[in-house]
Amino acid sequence: MQVLQTLRIQSAADHAGLSIWSEREMTKTSPTPRDAWPLLLARLDHARAATDSLFGLLVDDAFYDRTIAERHRIGFYRGHLDAFDWNLFNGRLFDRASVNPAHDRLFAFGIDPIDGQLPSDSVSDWPARAEVEQYCCAVREIIDGELRRCAHAGVVDGAAGESAARLLNVAIEHRLMHAETLAYLLHQLPLDRKVEGPRSFVPDAPRVEPSMVEIPAGRARLGMPADATSAFGWCNEFDGLDVDVPAFSIDTYMVSNGAFLAFVEAGGYRNPAYWSEADWAWREANGIEHPVFWRRARGEREDRGVHGVGAAQGAHPSRDVEDAHEAHARLAAANEARSDGGASDSARPNAAIEASGEGTAWTFVTMFDEIALPLNWPVYVSYAEASAYARWAGKQLPSEAQWQRAAGARHAHHGNFDFAYFDPMAVDADLHERSEAGVVGMWGNGWEWTRTTFGPLPGFEAFECYPGYSANFFDGEHYVLKGGSMRTASCMIRPSFRNWFQPRYPYVYAGFRCVDA
């Protein structure tokens, strides 16, 4: 258990510093393959550190917990990351006998959430954690030796003709994507199934007032140009194209918890007029009444809002929610008192709720805490919930082209991304960049849903080494997300990067902003 102890000791600040330096400085293309190898190997080491440290957040018997019904058990991903690297490199950059062919297959593929189809495995179906750790260590030892040999030889291409740089970048970004997946899986784990981590802090600030920015007609670049050989991009980022976008208006900020609270309190989750037929059926079948990261404070009735269904027909986000703000102010004060108080309060996640003496407010579950709902943080919801809010507000979600037109083509230099924090921050925080058009916080702090279904760009060609990465999801059932979250690596905070998810999957660090309908 020495490895686990070491991982748990590693501080979030140390890890953040490593990720910021290595990703921002080491993604620059080197002039020759021999010079590129050391940078790529260092980035692979960094990506491993990012994922390894997350498994150190588990208490010992939580390794095979399943936190989201549609997903694998957490322990699967420990084996998957190294099995993926092995299956990617072996036969392309080297040819070695497997240390465990059964594990190569067992941990090969993750699960894309599919409505109504849930995994049915039990803990007893999986190898013991010690066996998984041994497999990962053995695989890494072989991979590292062979990659050092390739680096020394200045290998340019793999056996199938794909460049060695592409293979390394696929391994690196695949692992960094799973660093984010693991974060939201662990987020859903009960607090007592994780080691204690940093408590959340929400500074006092006036409520963010919604506003919109007018974007003039113009062109937006989607993806990367076909001749972009100086930077890595996934298959769905090619071939890039410029599209004409008519003038439109877009929210200056991401929709906040405070703004979304008005929709909840107006009975938005009880009115089918705001939901598509499939989305409403999902909401009904699962009893969904609010965002998955929210909790009702003590004494709050789960049927609250039902009386607002009729009134919600004419409701609008500008309705008065001052009573809710006063209640949240009391809870925030209780949170602050808890952070300065004795051990008895700090040991109880619900101490702030109990101290408030109120039963009319909401709380927010962070990675390591439960706090008064931060009204200025972005709301994290599924596409279905975001679309319902937009209809209620008389707006719509932006298209991918509209989002890109508002964000512009420049790379973000700072923002809430690259593993610096486990929590989001206010949608109008100073850390966020403002696009040239005047839109705030489009990079980091939460992925942003678009209304564009995920599909290929002209000239799309799947990677030989990972043919199903994109093509398996060109089914009209996935929607494009842009931007990134606080748990997105900076190498993927690029204008051309395209994320995607199914519309009724609420666990991602994903929010939205609206455009005029």
| CA angle centred on 442, ends 499 and 269, rounded to 5° | 75
Residue 228 has what pLDDT?
A: 76
Per-residue pLDDT for 262 more than 50?
Answer: yes
**pLDDT reading at 4 higher than 70:** no
Percent of the chain with pLDDT over 70: 80
Residue 404 within a domain? yes
Could you tell me the sign of the dihedral formed by the alpha carbons of 278, 284, 287, 293, in that order? positive
Dihedrals phi, psi of 475, to nearest 5 degrees: -120, 5
Domain CATH code at residue 427 = 3.90.1580.10
Q: Are residues 171 and 218 in the same domain?
A: no
- The per-residue pLDDT for 33 is 63
- Residue 115 binned pLDDT confidence (cut-offs 50, 70, 90): low
Rounded to an integer, the average pLDDT of 261-284 is 98
Pair (238, 163) in one structural domain: no
Same domain? 49 vs 102: yes
User: 161, 193, 225 — which closes off a domain?
Assistant: 193
Q: Is the pLDDT of residue 137 over 50?
A: yes
Q: Which domain holds residue 189?
A: 31-193
Residue 328 lies in a domain: no
Could you tell me the CA-to-CA distances from 357 to 258, 310, 335, 354 in Å, in that order? 21, 31, 13, 6
Does the structure show a pLDDT above 70 at 342? no
Q: Where are the beta strands (DSSP E) in 385-509?
A: 395-396, 447-453, 479-482, 499-501
Same domain flag for 288 and 181: no
Residue 305 lies in a domain: no
Kindly state the average pLDDT of the residues 86-111: 95
Residue 361: inside a domain, yes or no? Answer: no
Q: Are residues 188 and 229 in the same domain?
A: no
Question: CA 111, CA 76: separation in Å to the nearest integer?
Answer: 11
Q: Are residues 187 and 220 in the same domain?
A: no
> To which residue do tokens 């204690």 refer?
196
Residues 387 and 293 in one domain: yes
* C-alpha dist (Å) from residue 238 to 38, 367, 406, 458, 472: 27, 35, 21, 7, 16
pLDDT for res 81: 98
Range in 11-15, 34-38, 374-378, 478-482 the model is least confident about: 11-15
Could you give phi then psi for residue 484, rounded to 5 degrees?
Answer: 135, 165
Q: Which of 132, 165, 193 is the last residue of a domain?
A: 193
| In a shared domain, residues 253 and 390 | yes
What is the count of structural domains for the chain? 2
C-alpha 109/C-alpha 123 separation (Å) is 18
CA dihedral (401, 402, 406, 411) in degrees, to 10, reads -20
Is residue 395 scored above 70 in pLDDT?
yes
| DSSP β-ladder status, 510-511 and 447-453 | parallel
Cβ burial, residue 246 (10 Å; 0-12/13-18/19+): exposed
Q: Is residue 13 part of a domain?
A: no
The CATH number covering residue 128 comes to 1.20.120.450
* Mean pLDDT confidence for 439-445: 97
pLDDT > 90 in the chain, percent: 73
Q: What is the pLDDT of residue 24?
A: 39
pLDDT at 347 over 80: no
Q: Are residues 423 and 468 in the same domain?
A: yes
Res 110: pLDDT: 78
The residue among 133, 160, 193 that closes a domain is: 193
* CA distance linking residue 378 with residue 293, whole number of Å: 11
* Whether residue 148 sits in one domain with residue 50: yes
Q: In which residue are the tokens 């709902």 written?
A: 373
Tell whether 97 is covered by a domain.
Answer: yes
* 325 inside domain: no
- DSSP assignment of 58-115: B-GGGTT--SSTTS--HHHHHHHHHHHHHHHHBTTTB----S-HHHHHHTS-----BT
pLDDT in tens, 193-234: 999 999 998 988 889 999 999 999 999 999 998 887 678 999
Using an 8 Å Cβ cutoff, are 454 and 481 in contact?
no
Q: Answer with the residue of higher pLDDT: 1 or 146.
A: 146
Query: CA 84, CA 92: separation in Å to the nearest integer?
Result: 13
**pLDDT the model gives residue 16:** 34
Q: Is 287's pLDDT higher than 50?
A: yes
pLDDT in tens, 308-339: 222 222 333 333 333 344 444 444 444 444 34
- Statement to judge: residues 390 and 421 lie in one domain: yes
Question: In residues, how long is the chain?
Answer: 517
Q: What is the pLDDT of residue 32?
A: 65
Is 390 in the same domain as 486? yes
Q: Which pLDDT score, from 0 to 100, does residue 327 have?
A: 40
- 10-49 confidence digits (pLDDT tens): 333 333 333 333 333 334 444 466 778 999 999 999 999 9
What is the per-residue pLDDT across 459-476, written as a single tens digit (0 to 9) for each?
999 999 999 999 999 999
Beta-ladder partners of 256: 378
Q: What is the mean pLDDT of residues 63-89?
A: 97
Helices (H), 193-299: 257-265, 277-286
Burial of 333 (0-12, 13-18, 19+ CB in 10 A): middle
pLDDT at residue 89 is higher than 50: yes
Mean pLDDT of the chain: 84
Rg for the chain (alpha carbons), in Å?
A: 23
Residue 451, domain member (yes or no): yes
